[in-house]
Amino acid sequence: MKDALTIIAIVIAIVVIVEFIKLYLIHRKINKTTMGESGLYRRFIKNFKLLVLFTIVGAVVLIINLISEGIL
């Protein structure tokens, strides 16, 4: 159980890092162009929502992992 939670936490951490990089690159592209391009803005919002979702899921997995190890 602990090994599976650790693997899930690592995968979620990698996904959060990748989503953060994508978010940063889209944000840079929006700043270089006009804000009127709604396609870029929609992608920015979608990636931001995914980043928040994966961060929340990662925090829950971390808490479960800490509880299962007896730290919490």
Provide the pLDDT for residue 48: 82
70 and 14 Cβ atoms separated by less than 8 Å: no
Give the number of domains in the chain. Answer: 1
| pLDDT band with cut points at 50, 70 and 90 for residue 1 | low
**Amino acid present at 67:** I
Residue 54's pLDDT is what?
A: 82
Exposure class string for 19-33: b at 16+ Cβ within 10 A, else e: beeebeebeeeeeee
pLDDT tens column, 11-68: 888 888 888 888 788 777 766 666 556 677 777 778 788 888 888 888 888 888 878 8
Alpha carbon of residue 48 to chain centroid: 8
Q: Which amino acid is at 27?
A: H
pLDDT given for residue 30 in this prediction: 67
Count other C-beta atoms under 10 Å from residue 58's C-beta: 18
